[in-house]
Each structure stands twice: as C-alpha cells, then as structure tokens.
A and B are shown apart, each in its own frame.
Chain A
C-alpha cells in the first residue's frame, strides 16, 4: 500500500507538478465595427428586420450579460428603405433595433432590396432577396420514441414541391410547459434536386434530446433562398465543434454588402404538438 501511494505521488508530481505555464497569444487586433442585418419574424407583420452591430471577440460573461450586451448592440434611428418593383418604402423604427415595413406589397417572385447608410463608414449597405412562393405541409406527424436512455422525435411530413429548384428548411424547437425555449432548434435541410415538381414524403429524427410530458414541440418549414440554404448548411456542418475559435476559419456567406447577416424573406408554416 505504501509503495503504491509513493508511486502515485511521484508520478503525479512528475507529470502535473512541472506543467509549464501556457504562453499568451498577443497582438490580436479586434474586428472593425459594422452593421448586421437580421431577418425577424414578427406576428402580423410581413417584413421585419433587426439592425445590430458586431462585437468584440473577447467579451465574456454569463447568459444574462450576453442578453445585456445584445441590447447594447441594437442600432436605432437609421433611414432604412426597401425597394421592390421600382418603388421605395421607408421602414418604421418601431422598437429599439427593429424596423418594420407596414405598407410593403407582398409580390411572390419579386426581388426586395434593403438600402441604408452604414453609420460606421458612411458607405451604403444593400441586401437583396427574393420573396419565394410559400410551401406548406400537406401533412405532418410527430411521434415520440422512448429509448433506454432518452427520447427521440420522429417527424414524418408530406409536401408538394413547386416547379424549379427549391430549398427547404425544417426547424424543430422544444418548449417546456412554461413556454421557455429549451436548447437550440434542430434544423433539417432538404433540396429538391431529386424530386422536382412532385409530392414527396420525408422523415427525419431529432436525436440526443430529452422530452418530458407537458413539453411542446414547434415544427416549422419554409421554402428558402439558395444562399440562405448554403449558410445554414455551413452552420450545421460546424455543429459538432465545441468551440468555434479552435477550428479552421469559416467566413460565413452573407447577402449583405458592406455589412454582415442575412436578409431573407420566406413564409413559414408552423405546427405545434404537445407531448402527453
């Protein structure tokens, strides 16, 4: 026993006691400030965008501090216009950082262009996206499968694919009985390269989540633009990275010129399921 203990101490001292101090990485310059466009989903409103600024990579803190930080990032009092079908519409800065278009016509297939001046460099910011035809669930069924260790959600759906190339996004978001959002949404992506202009059935499984009685599952779908599809695909590829900062750099695509983020307009079909 004494030998084992002594051996354990010696090995521990050798291996742990002499661990060198890590070396600092210096001279990292921080990102220049610029604007970020976020496409929002406000009930009853056709078009809503948020304008924020990017922030220092070395900001730290818990979730409440990040929420506070996000409040500080909101950008107000900009003249933001939408150009569609040859007409310009001024957006209303209805709430901090949120700009709404109240009288903008909904023209499927038309291009919508967002214009304003970047307050950080005084150059114009533009972003253009099409309004794609709405595609809704023909049917959807959600079932819970309990395994020995956790629960899975099986989603089976049907939809009718319009003519031409289309890209679909499905989101599954869990809410508990207090309607608090649980975890990040599970995103499934699908393109119609194998089934153009036909009725299709599609199944997928949401795994590694735990569901309990009283939870609600929101399942949404939308026909999205190709560039937003590519952005989400890239984002999904990185989902297993524990920390973004340790992998190779990924410069995520954006459709914003002189800024970041995504301006997209798609119409969602949302279904809610309760777990009994």
Chain B
C-alpha cells in the first residue's frame, strides 16, 4: 500500500510476533541513512515515508531479533514479523519499554505519560498487589490525597476532575479497600495513558486529566495463565484461544481472603472485596477487530454487635456495599483509507448502606448509570496531514440518596426518595494533525453540550498542540486546551468518602470550565536511552464547586441550596527524567506548583490556597535488573503538606436556653496552615524462576517493604490532649507503617 510523494513513498504495515502473530506495539523503527527514529503505534502499525532506492529500515523490539530491509523490499511486505530471541515464556513478556520514551519524545503532546503492565509489575506495592493508580501518583503534576485514598489531584484540580476510562467507559469508583487498592486487576491491563494537558479533542467531560486504561491485547495463539498470591488478595487469570489466531477469551478474578484467614484465629474481619473481568478479543480480519470487556467488582463491609446482652434486641450493625459494573464493546476497522473505531459502553456505580441501632434503622442507596457511544474515524489527507473526526454521546441517570429510616433516627434523617436526574452529554470533535518542516501540530475543536430537563448548555472547546524540532533530539512543545465538566462529585472537602454523590449540572449549577496553557522542552539522549522534559503550565478554572460554611453533606439531598461556585487557578513547573532501557530503568520527577481558589461567599471573598495546594512533589522510581533472576526496585516520594484550617480559639456564649454556655470555635483564613510534609521509601526484591527451554511455567517471588523507615503518611488530623501540659494539639496519624510483604506470581503458557 503506497502513495507517491516526490522521491519518497509512504509505506504502511504492521509488526508482529512471528509465532503468535501478536502486534508489537511501540517497537523501534529506524531509517538508517537518515538516522530517523519512529515507532509502531499501540496496535503495532506503522506508517513511514521512505526513499526505496536508498533507505534501509531496521525493526527492533526488546526480546526479539532485529530485522533490516532495503527500502524496495519493504514495499512488498505489509506484515513484518520478528522472532523471539528468548525462551518460550518470554513470548508473553511483551515489553516495548524502550520505545515509550521515544514515542513520548516524538509525540506532539507533552503532557502525556504511558505506563505499561510490565513496568508496574516490577515496582514495590502495598501488600504485593501491583496498582496502576498508585503509580500514577508518582508522575509529574499528580498528587495523591490522604494515604489510602484513590483520589488524584492533578495540576491543581479537584479529585472529581479526572476522567477515568476503562476501554472507553467511565469508571466512577476506582478504589477497593476504601481506596487503598485500585479496582483494576493488573493481569487484565495493557497500558494506562495519563493526559494532564494538550488534550485530544476526542476527550472531554473533566477539567484536569484523562486516565485512559486499555485492556491488554489477548494472545490468540496459546493458553496463558497469570496468577498472583499476595498478602491482601490473590488473583487468577487465564487466556484461552477459542479460534486460533482469531478469537481469544480472558477471565480474571481477584478476592481478598484476610476475612477467611482471620477466622482461623477466631477474629471476625467483616470486610472483603472481589472483582471479575472477562475480555473477548476477536481479530476478524487484518482490518477488523472486536473487543468485549466486562468488569464487576464489589466491596462488602458487614458487622453487628450486641450492646447489652440482658436487653433483648439491644444490637447495632451495618452492612455496606459499593461496586461498579462495566460492559464495553470496541470495534476497530479499516475501510479504504479510513480507520473507524467505535466504543459502546454501559457503566453503573452504586452503593447501599443498611444500618440498625436498637429499634432504629437507616437504609441509604445511591446509583449512577451511563450508557455511551464514541465513534471515531479518520484518514491521512496527504503524507503530512491527517484528519481525525468523531462524536460521542452519553446518557446518564443519577439517583442520589434514597433514604429509608425508622425509629427515632427518622427525626434526623427522614425518608427521602431523592430525585432522579437524567442528562444527555454529547460532543462533536475533530483534530487536524499536520507536519510542516520542523513544525508538527494538532488543531482541534470539541463542541460539547449537556441537555437536561431544565437547562441546556453548549461549550466550544478549542485545542491546539504544537511541537517544534529545535535540532536532533531536542523539541519545543506547547499547547492550549479548554475543557468543560457537566457532572460533579458532592463531597466534604475534608474527607472524600466512597459514599460521595455525583451530581449533574442544572439550571442553577453551571458547568465547570478550564483554560490551560503549557510550554515545554524535551530532549532525548538516545545513546543512554534517557528522555528529559520540563513543562510549565497555567490553568484558569471557572465555576468550581464548594459548599456554604457549615453545610451538613451527610445524607443530604438538598445540595443545590448549599452549593457555591467560584474560580480558581493553578500554575507550576514539572521536570521529568526517564530511562526505559538497560539494566537500570525508572524516572525522577519534580513538580513545583501553586493552586488557589476564590469564592465570593468564602474567606471574606479573598483568594485562598486549595486544600491540596502542595508546593513540592518529588518521586524517584527505579528498577535495577542485576541478572536474569534478580532485580531490585525502589520508590521514594516526597510531598509537601496539604493545607488545613485549624481552630485557633474559642469563645463562650450563653446557650439558647440560657442554662449554660456554648463554646464557639474561631478559625483563621481558610487553609492558612500547611500540614506536615510526607515522604516514604518502598523497595522490593524480585527473584525470578529459572528459565528453561520448553518449560511452560515460570514463577516470581516478590519481597516488598512498604514505608521502609516507618514514617507516617498522614491520613487524617486528630486533636490530642497532652496531660502533662494540659493542652490540646493537632497531629496527623498515618495508618500504615513499615509493612513487609511477600507475594508469588506465576505464569503458564501452552
């Protein structure tokens, strides 16, 4: 397949494993005389402009034997296959790490980071359970909330300003174990792309980031099992080719078993979680592929106790369940010169709380459902211009707190059916990607809209990203994007709870919008495989959400009365040095940032720092492969303290009955105090099983230490009384100290 352009020819093809025929994503391609470097895309496809008379093209991929083709020969081949250079089991260890930094350097958009399954599996993890979401917090511009929370605060945005997509479907609850672990089973994930700026026009609906998680490409040639036994949970996954080279299915399950283990010691641990994934991958033809994904997961907490054995019925208890269910269907195809990609999904999130205390009961239920479609298509207009177009539409039903109560507690929390809110959020989008000499760019526009019973909103969202090659291996990048958000999470800003409720815009609640500008420089030091980048950003946000002072959000259905909208800004500079080749891999990132808020009704109308205005954020992530069997990893992170508004005084006034005094707290300016800095060191040692020719299974032992020097990572703020001085003080406890763990992961392939 070719198109003529002067002396050059455009060639297209796909790079695959010669045995399994699996595409090799982000493999390295070099046009040797010109020393130009390219890579295959996430589906292993490539497009190159070559001079067939003089160019030689080299294809290489870690773990595979490289191949070179004279240009003329490449014209004859659409499918290039590479042969694995190691043992049988290596066929399932597809990495492609080296090209991540090259792909990132070549990418027009700077504010994009890619994490792959293989890199995540090497890093230290809590309880030996690898976690994509936790690793995201180690990237520039990303700050986590309190320890254990799965909330991310990105470039000064709020936790609800991040759109988490799993195969195109919105994921509302990303955390198991109250946020300590993410809901994404590492055995099913191929890669995670984090975008914090320069957003493609196809993405929208949140102000601060897009976290696009894609299932891994299934092996339709051989049976593969991938299992892990950890301290917190265990997981099992199996991939089976149903039709060789065509259709494969993966089933993966995870469950905690601490509750079962605790029973052996007669200890009642009233909590467990589980999740189930099923993926189907059908390569109908070279040009058509269908993927179906199913996810269901739930956290269950259930306990009860007798208060007074002598009083019949004097008991109290709670059962709490929270879960997601997601169905996705992705169809990718090529028709003539056009590519087409369709994502259809159904996503739901709900929680239920059933509590009783003596003759009182309180039942609370909340649910959000989404059904959505995204259609993308595009083609190359010339060898220097590409067009990407599409539309998306999401129908969303939000059913906030349904409250059913009985007994005295119904005086405090009366029955309430809540009010279903339905909305349709749609968008038309397009990107024009061009290359003119040293300048590459993407100019895009997203026209988004929200349709509700009592209001309609339309927002134009222009997007521009530019990349200018200064000289070999140096590039300047810049971007401008506008984003709009039509749904918000109603949450106390002190503590995000799983029971926080998502709430759509209305006639009175306007969409949040943000304009973000970025300017950065990148350098690729190819001989040592290191990329260096630095980026400054400025983000202006409007119609942000806060609540009137003193609003009680617990089981409150009347949010609109309490909502305030105001403005905010954030700015900072991010540095990243990343190496993905050789024995030593990893990255060092540093972010210096500020983020502020201004609401007419808060803090006397004066600007105040946001709660997660953390000035410095440093992450050092490294993995050293000593030999084929032993490797060592470590993660060290430092985060400046978050902001807090303490009580600085009290005053006494007669209570309303004038029978005593009521102590009223007195506060300083909002978020005036910086809390303690936190830093933590984790490390792990991995011992891989011996590799033997024709051996079909391999096991790895992971020994991890979480929080090696046992420093608290603040999870809350407590008020403590010192009996010696007779005074109170604030302090921040952490939950997890030094925590050793051991896990065993093993794979099987046939």
Q: Which positions in A face B, CB cutoff 8 Å?
A: 3-5, 7-8, 11, 14, 18-31, 36, 38-41, 50, 52-61, 65, 70, 73, 147-149, 152, 169, 171, 173, 181, 184-185, 187, 205, 207-208, 218, 220, 232, 234-235, 237-238, 240, 243-252, 260-262
Q: Say yes or no for B527: interface residue by CB 8 A criterion.
A: no
With a CB–CB cut-off of 8 A, which chain B residues contact A173? 657, 659
Q: Is B656 a contact partner of A30 (Cβ separation < 8 A)? A: no
Chain A residue, CB-CB nearest to B554: A240
With a CB–CB cut-off of 8 A, which chain B residues contact A247? 492, 494
Given A14-B739, A25-B676, A40-B658, A248 contacting B726 (CB threshold 8 A): no
Closest CB of chain A to B705's CB: distance in Å?
Answer: 10
Q: Is B359 a contact partner of A248 (Cβ separation < 8 A)? A: no
Contacts between chains A and B (CB distance < 8 A), count: 223
CA distance A252 to B550 in the complex (A): 9
Chain B residue, CB-CB nearest to A152: B408
Q: Is B650 a contact partner of A57 (Cβ separation < 8 A)? A: yes
Q: Is A60 a contact partner of B651 (Cβ separation < 8 A)? A: no
Q: Select which of A208, A220, A250 is within 8 A of B549 by beta carbon.
A: A250
Q: Say yes or no for B722: interface residue by CB 8 A criterion.
A: yes
CA distance A178 to B675 in the complex (A): 48
Q: Is B726 a contact partner of A61 (Cβ separation < 8 A)? A: yes
Given A8-B267, A58-B727, A252-B664, A169 contacting B656 (CB threshold 8 A): yes
Q: Is A181 a contact partner of B660 (Cβ separation < 8 A)? A: yes
CA distance A59 to B729 in the complex (A): 9
CA distance A255 to B494 in the complex (A): 29
CA distance A187 to B660 in the complex (A): 14
Q: Select which of A11, A235, A243, A260 is within 8 A of B719 by beta carbon.
A: A243
Q: Is B493 a contact partner of A185 (Cβ separation < 8 A)? A: no
CA distance A184 to B457 in the complex (A): 49
With a CB–CB cut-off of 8 A, which chain A residues contact B707? 18, 20
Q: Is A249 a contact partner of B657 (Cβ separation < 8 A)? A: no
Chain B, range 718-749, C-beta contacts under 8 Å to A: 718-722, 726-740
Q: Select which of B493, B656, B667, B729 is within 8 A of A171 by beta carbon.
A: B656
Of B200-208, B257-265, B335-343, B463-471, the one with at least 4 CB within 8 A of chain A: B257-265
CA distance A248 to B551 in the complex (A): 9
With a CB–CB cut-off of 8 A, which chain B residues contact A53? 651
Q: Say yes or no for B528: interface residue by CB 8 A criterion.
A: no
Closest CB of chain A to B399's CB: distance in Å?
Answer: 25
With a CB–CB cut-off of 8 A, which chain A residues contact B710? 18, 20
Q: Is B726 a contact partner of A52 (Cβ separation < 8 A)? A: no
CA distance A149 to B644 in the complex (A): 41
Q: Is B674 a contact partner of A27 (Cβ separation < 8 A)? A: yes
Q: Is the interface of A mostly helix, strand, loop or mixed?
A: mixed
Closest CB of chain B to A252's CB: distance in Å?
Answer: 5
CA distance A247 to B658 in the complex (A): 26
With a CB–CB cut-off of 8 A, which chain B residues contact A65? 726
A-B CB contact pairs (8 Å), 9 listed: A3-B264, A20-B710, A21-B712, A25-B675, A31-B648, A38-B652, A61-B726, A205-B411, A220-B657
Could you say which of A19, A149, A250 has the most chain B C-beta atoms within 10 Å of its C-beta?
A149
Q: Select which of B653, B714, B739 is within 8 A of A23 by beta carbon.
A: B714
Chain A residue, CB-CB nearest to B314: A149
Interface residues in B, total, Cβ within 8 A: 82
Q: Is B265 a contact partner of A261 (Cβ separation < 8 A)? A: no
Q: Say yes or no for B454: interface residue by CB 8 A criterion.
A: no
With a CB–CB cut-off of 8 A, which chain B residues contact A3? 264
CA distance A197 to B655 in the complex (A): 29
Chain B, range 652-692, C-beta contacts under 8 Å to A: 652-662, 664-668, 670, 673-676, 678
Chain B residue, CB-CB nearest to A220: B657
Given A58-B728, A237-B550, A248 contacting B718 (CB threshold 8 A): no
Q: Is A244 a contact partner of B657 (Cβ separation < 8 A)? A: no
Q: Is A20 a contact partner of B665 (Cβ separation < 8 A)? A: no
Q: Is A238 a contact partner of B659 (Cβ separation < 8 A)? A: no
In the A-B complex, the 7 residue pairs with the smallest Cβ-Cβ separation, listed nearest first, are: A31-B649, A18-B737, A185-B657, A171-B657, A23-B676, A25-B730, A207-B408
Q: Say yes or no for B647: interface residue by CB 8 A criterion.
A: yes
Closest CB of chain B to A199's CB: distance in Å?
Answer: 25
CA distance A243 to B665 in the complex (A): 10
CA distance A22 to B644 in the complex (A): 16
Q: Is A245 a contact partner of B408 (Cβ separation < 8 A)? A: no
With a CB–CB cut-off of 8 A, which chain A residues contact B664? 235, 252, 260
Given A57-B728, A59-B727, A27 contacting B673 (CB threshold 8 A): yes
Closest CB of chain A to B723's CB: distance in Å?
Answer: 8
Q: Is A149 a contact partner of B653 (Cβ separation < 8 A)? A: no
Closest CB of chain A to B741's CB: distance in Å?
Answer: 9
Q: Is A244 a contact partner of B727 (Cβ separation < 8 A)? A: no
Q: Say yes or no for B460: interface residue by CB 8 A criterion.
A: no
Q: Is B266 a contact partner of A4 (Cβ separation < 8 A)? A: yes
Q: Is B652 a contact partner of A24 (Cβ separation < 8 A)? A: no
With a CB–CB cut-off of 8 A, which chain A residues contact B674? 27
CA distance A205 to B647 in the complex (A): 33
Closest CB of chain B to A248's CB: distance in Å?
Answer: 6
With a CB–CB cut-off of 8 A, which chain A residues contact B493? 248
Q: Select which of A11, A70, A149, A244 is within 8 A of B665 by beta carbon.
A: A244
Q: Select which of B549, B552, B554, B719 is within 8 A of A246 by beta carbon.
A: B719
Q: Is A187 a contact partner of B656 (Cβ separation < 8 A)? A: yes
With a CB–CB cut-off of 8 A, which chain A residues contact B359? 147-149
Closest CB of chain A to B364's CB: distance in Å?
Answer: 15
Q: Select which of B265, B645, B714 is within 8 A of A249 by beta carbon.
A: B645
Could you say which of A5, A14, A147, A252 has the most chain B C-beta atoms within 10 Å of its C-beta?
A252
Closest CB of chain A to B566's CB: distance in Å?
Answer: 15
Given A52-B651, A55-B651, A70-B661, A208 contacting B408 (CB threshold 8 A): yes
Chain A residue, CB-CB nearest to B733: A22
Could you say which of B265, B266, B493, B740 has the most chain A C-beta atoms within 10 Å of its C-beta?
B265
Q: Say yes or no for B750: interface residue by CB 8 A criterion.
A: no
Given A3-B264, A22-B732, A237 contacting B654 (CB threshold 8 A): no
CA distance A205 to B408 in the complex (A): 9
Chain B, range 551-576, C-beta contacts under 8 Å to A: 551-552, 554
Chain B, range 313-348, C-beta contacts under 8 Å to A: 313-314
With a CB–CB cut-off of 8 A, which chain A residues contact B722? 60
Q: Is B646 a contact partner of A185 (Cβ separation < 8 A)? A: no
Given A8-B265, A152-B408, 20 more pairs with CB closer than 8 A: A3-B264, A18-B710, A20-B707, A20-B710, A20-B711, A22-B731, A24-B731, A25-B644, A40-B654, A52-B652, A57-B647, A57-B649, A59-B726, A60-B721, A65-B726, A173-B659, A185-B659, A232-B656, A240-B554, A248-B645
Q: Say yes or no for B717: interface residue by CB 8 A criterion.
A: yes
With a CB–CB cut-off of 8 A, which chain B residues contact A18? 707, 710, 737-739
CA distance A149 to B716 in the complex (A): 34
CA distance A244 to B652 in the complex (A): 14
Q: Is B729 a contact partner of A58 (Cβ separation < 8 A)? A: yes
Q: Is B649 a contact partner of A50 (Cβ separation < 8 A)? A: no
Q: Say yes or no for B2: interface residue by CB 8 A criterion.
A: no
Q: Is B264 a contact partner of A4 (Cβ separation < 8 A)? A: yes
Q: Is B726 a contact partner of A60 (Cβ separation < 8 A)? A: yes
With a CB–CB cut-off of 8 A, which chain B residues contact A8? 265-267
With a CB–CB cut-off of 8 A, which chain B residues contact A220? 657
